[in-house]
Amino acid sequence: MKVLILCTIGTPQDPSRQSVKKYLQNFLGDKNIVSVPQPFRYLLTRGIIIPSKLNDSHARYQQLATRFQGQLPLRLYVDELREEMQRENQQWRILSFMQYSGEQISSLVNQIEAESEVEQIILLPLFAHETFGSYYASLGKIPQLLRNRLPHIPLKVVPPYYNHPTYIRLLQQSLVSATLPKSDLYVASFHSIPISHWKRGVEKGFDYKEQCEETAQLLFDALPPESAKEVLFQSSIKPHRWLDPIIEKEMYTWVDKGYKRVSVICPGFAIDCLETLLDIGEELRAKYIAHGGEELHLIPCLNSKQEARALYFQLAEESLVS
């Protein structure tokens, strides 16, 4: 039996105020997210950031949940992804773990220990690009605890797959099939990160911005050469410096450039969530149309589609022999 663990940052347990508050405490309490040493991180997040953000965050999650019968889409799609992958392939035991959603790593390890004859464990972050705040944060302390509790079972982590041919092909298919009739502008939007995180990554040997740009270039190869294309970043938080150009600012230039119909794809997100559905699909779209645009089309993430499931099995199998 091989075990595949789908790792993600997670989402609140539900859209209630208490669940959102707990999620923010877990999320912002991680040094991968707020890189300030303790006890200053605790004082900053619990005393300033969360009290100032909680009302807005709660309202946004409530708004998002109304589109999914009271559920949050990230949890809905991850559950569906895990269940469908398990149904399709009995050679693997499929598990999932949401890092900041209140789940316990010890419970995850207990599930693996309950399995008989586990010969390999694969951790698959549902993030194609390498960042401290997503790829590495989704892993958290899982590798360390697994190695401590189950030292006899080989453990591997799927490497970032931002330029993997199958991943790129699926993105290209999504882009081409979902943008008919033709758009005036095609945008690849990636989650921005603090400049300090980006520089720290470069020092460690990986460049998140270059990875995003490579994904976008490969993705855009599916479009006619004359198509207008932009690589942008989203969801930055003031007042800190984040990777730019920022889509929320660049949007105001599109109409003046003659871009009345815009298609946006978010390759860094495996699953649709608040940052794609609400930030881009609703709020940015409303602002763009109010500014004179005709249509902004958000291309769905891979979510739990069959093609996505096949990709994750492929990545896991390739990790076994790498």
Model pLDDT for residues 4-14, shown as the tens digit of each residue: 999 999 999 99
Q: Domain count of the chain?
A: 2
In eight-state DSSP terms, residue 242 is: B
Give the span between the Cα atoms of 65 and 274, in whole angstroms: 10
The answer on 16 and 108 residing in a single domain is yes
Residues 181, 121 share a domain: no
Range of the domain at 72: 2-161+305-321
Q: In which band, very low, low, confident or very high, does the pLDDT at 168 lie, cut at 50, 70 and 90?
A: very high
Residues 156, 170 share a domain: no
Other residues' Cβ atoms within 10 Å of the Cβ of residue 265: 26
CATH number of residue 123's parent domain:
3.40.50.1400
As a whole number of angstroms, the distance between CA 262 and CA 254 comes to 9
Residues 11 and 123 reside in one and the same domain: yes
Domain shared by 74 and 221, yes or no: no
pLDDT of residue 180: 63
What pLDDT, on a 0 to 100 scale, did the predictor assign at position 250? 97
* Cβ atoms of residues 264 and 298 within 8 Å: yes
Q: Give yes or no: residues 119 and 262 share one domain.
A: no
pLDDT of 226 over the 70 cut: yes
The pLDDT value recorded for residue 135 is 97
Burial string for 147-158 (b: 16+ CB within 10 Å, else e) reads eeebeeeebebb
- Give yes or no: residues 142 and 189 share one domain: no
The residue-averaged pLDDT of 225-243 equals 90
pLDDT digit string, tens, across residues 264-292: 999 999 999 999 999 999 999 999 999 99
Same domain flag for 146 and 239: no
